[in-house]
A and B are shown apart, each in its own frame.
Chain A
Amino acid sequence: MCGIAGLFIKNKALESQMGVMLAQMTSTLCGRGPDSAGFAIYTTDDPGFTKLSVIAQGDADLDSLHEQMCREVAPEIQKSATGSNVVFRVPDAKAGQAIEWIDARPAELALIGQGKRLEMYKDVGYPDDVAERFGIAQMRGTHGIAHTRMATESAVTPEGAHPFSTANDQCLVHNGSISNHASMRRALRKDGIKVRTENDSEVAAGYLSQQMHQGKSLGDALDSSLDVLDGFFTFVVGTENGFGVLRDPIACKPAVMAETNDYVAFASEYKSLTGLPGIENARVWEPTPAHSYFWEH
C-alpha cells in the first residue's frame, strides 16, 4: 500500500493554495498509509539563507539547542518550530557547519531535509493528524509532495516516514519496495552520499541525488534508475524547480495524473484528485510504466 501525492503549480495565483490542495489530496490517502505521513513543500527562497529541516527527538529542549547553535555556529540562525519538527534558517556559508553540528547530536536532532526552498515535515500518526499538526493547509509554495505510509521494510519512526531528502532541495516519495537497498546503500555511502536511515526508499532518493550530482538531469537520472533499482516502485521526486514521476516497468503500484493550465497533479488514486479546481476538464491519464515524466519552472 502507501499513498503518494504531488502537486506542481503552474499558475502563480494558486501558490497560496498549494498547502491546502496538497493536504486535501493527502487526506484521501489516509487508508493507504495510516501509520505516518510526511510533506515536502517548496516555499519561497530566503536569499542568503539555507533551510535545514530537523526532527527534534524525545524531549529535546529546542530553545536551548537553538541558543547553543547560534553561539557555536552563527548568531543569525533562525528557528521556526511546529510540533516535533523545526526548520532552521542558516546563513548559506554556515550551512555545512550547521549540518555537522546537528549530526553530532543524534540523541536530540535528526536532519531530514536541506535546501534553499525545501521544507520538510514528517511524523508518525494518522496522516490527517500529521497535516494538522504542521499546519500544511496554511502553507504556500510552488510545488510539493506528500506520502502516507504503511511500513513494510523498516520501522515506523518519524525519520522512517517519507519524503526523503538526500541532497539540497531534492526529495522523493515512494510507493513500493526496493529489494537491493542494502548493497546500494553501501555503494552510495562509499561515494559520499549521506544515507541516514535503514529505509529502502531513502536509497532510491540517494541514487537520484548521486546521478544528478554527476551531472545528469532529473529525467536522465530517473531513466537510469530503471536499470539499477530492483523492486517495485512509483516515485514522485521534487527538485528546486521541478517535479518528476517514474514507475517501474511492471507497474504494480497505481498512479494517476491530471494536468490543467493551472497545475500538474499526481496521486496514487484518482479519488485524491477529485477536490482539485477544474478537475472536471483536466487531462487525466495513467503514467506509462518505465517512462519518466518531469516538469520544471
Chain B
Amino acid sequence: MTTNTLQKAGNETVFDLSRSSVRDLNAYLHELPANRPCDPVRVTHLTGDHSVVAGLDADLDIQVDGHVGYFCGGMLRQARLTINGNAGQGVGSNIESGQIHVRGDASQSAGATGRGGRLVIDGNASARCGISLKGTDIIVKGNIGHLSAFMAQSGRLVVFGDAGDSLGDSLYEAHIYVRGSVASLGADCIAKKMRDEHRKELAELLEAAGEAGKVDVNDFTRYGSARQLYNFKVDNIGAY
C-alpha cells in the first residue's frame, strides 16, 4: 500500500478506493488493534466493489460512501459500519457483533447466518434476508423478499413493511415481527400472539436501532415456529 492512499481529515482516516484496492483497505483494517477504541475511518470512491470491510474486528466507526458489491461487512466484530448507499448480496453475512447500517437497499441474503450484532437497513431487503440466522438482530425499515428467515435458528428479524412469500420456512427459534403484510408463510411458520414480553422485546430492539417512538409496537404481528418439524414423524416416511 502506498502511503498517499491514506489521508487524515481531523482524526478520521480517509481511504480512497480510486487510488488503492479493497485488499489494501481490508489489510489496513485487519491490522487495527482489537482491544482498544480506534479512530474513525471513511471509505470513498466505491465502484460496487465486493468484500469491502470484510473480517473487521476493531472498535471504531467506519463510513462507506457509495454502493457496495457482495459481502460488505462480512464477519464483522465490534465496529459500527455505515453504508451510505445500497448493498449487494450478503451484506453482513456471518456478522458476529457490532452494527451495520445500510442507508439504501440491500440485495439478497442480507445478514445470512449472522451470529450476533445488529443489521439495520433503511430501505428494502430482497430475497432470503436473515437466512439461517443464528443470533443477529435485523431491522428492515422497508420490505423484505421471499424466503426470508429460512431456517433461522435464533436472533430477531423486525420488518416495518411487507414480507414476501414463504416467510420463516423451516424456522427454528428466531423471532420475527412484521408490521405490514406477509405474502405467505413458509412451512412450520405461524403467526403468534403478541404478549407483553414480546412488546417489550420489540420496543428494546427499536430503541437499540434508534427507531424508538417512530413506529408503534402494537402494529406488528409476531411470527414463530410451530415446532412441528423438529422431530421425525414416521407418518411422513413416504415423503422421503
Which positions in A face B, CB cutoff 8 Å? 249, 251, 254, 256, 269-275, 284-286, 288-289
A284 to B67, CA, bound (A): 10
Complex alpha-carbon distance, A254 and B66, angstroms: 19
What are 29 A-B contacts defined by CB distance under 8 Å?
A251-B108, A251-B126, A254-B88, A254-B107, A256-B107, A269-B48, A269-B69, A269-B70, A269-B88, A270-B67, A271-B47, A271-B49, A271-B50, A272-B48, A273-B48, A274-B48, A274-B67, A275-B47, A284-B86, A284-B104, A284-B105, A285-B105, A286-B105, A286-B108, A286-B126, A288-B145, A289-B127, A289-B145, A289-B146
Taking Cβ atoms with an 8 Å cutoff, the residues of B that contact A are 47-50, 67, 69-70, 86, 88-89, 104-105, 107-108, 126-127, 145-146
Q: How many Å lie between the Cα of A289 and that of B145 in the bound state?
A: 9
The 6 closest A-B pairs by CB, nearest first: A271-B48, A270-B48, A274-B47, A286-B126, A274-B48, A270-B67
CA distance A270 to B127 in the complex (A): 17
Most buried by A among B70, B105, B126: B126
In angstroms, Cα B52 to Cα A273, docked, is 18
B6 to chain A, nearest CB (A): 23
Instruction: Report the separation of the CA atoms of residues A272 and B67 in the bound assembly, to the nearest whole angstrom.
Output: 12
For the complex formed, measure the closest distance between the CB of B150 and the CB atoms of chain A, giving whole angstroms: 12
**Total A-B contacts with CB atoms under 8 angstroms apart:** 45
Tell me how far the C-beta of A24 lies from the nearest C-beta in chain B, rounded to whole angstroms: 12
Chain A residues near B105 (CB, 8 Å)? 284-286
Residues on A with beta carbons closer than 8 Å to the beta carbon of B50: 271
List the A residue with the shortest CB-CB distance to B47: A274
Docked pose: A289 CA to B104 CA in angstroms:
19
Residues in A neighbouring B47, C-beta threshold 8 A: 271, 274-275
What's the Cα separation between A47 and B105 when bound, in Å?
A: 46
Contacting residues, chain A, for B126 (C-beta < 8 A): 251, 286
The CA of A12 and the CA of B108, in the complex, are separated in Å by 35
Q: Report how far A122 CA is from B126 CA in the complex, Å.
A: 33
Contacts of A269 in B (CB 8 A): 48, 69-70, 88
When distances are taken between beta carbons in the complex, the residues of chain B under 8 Å from A272 are 48
A270 in contact with B145 (CB, 8 Å): no
Contacts of A256 in B (CB 8 A): 88, 107
Nearest residue (CB) in B for A270 is B48
Chain B residue with minimal CB distance to A251?
B127
CA distance A273 to B66 in the complex (A): 13
B48 touches A286 (CB 8 A): no
Cα distance A274–B105 in the bound complex, in angstroms: 17
Nearest opposing residue in chain A for B127, CB measure: A251
> Closest approach, in angstroms, between the C-beta of A11 and any C-beta of chain B?
23
Taking CB atoms, residues of chain B closer than 8 Å to A249 are 146
B20 to chain A, nearest CB (A): 17
Residues on A with C-beta less than 8 A from B107 are 254, 256, 286
Min CB gap A86→B, angstroms = 36
B91 → A minimal CB distance (Å) = 12
Task: State whether A271 and B146 are in contact (beta carbons under 8 Å apart), knowing that A251-B108, A251-B127, A254-B89 are contacts in the complex.
Answer: no
> Nearest CB to that of A249 among chain B residues?
B146
Q: How far is the CB of A178 from chain B (nearest CB, A)?
A: 20
Q: Are B88 and A270 in contact (CB under 8 A)?
A: yes
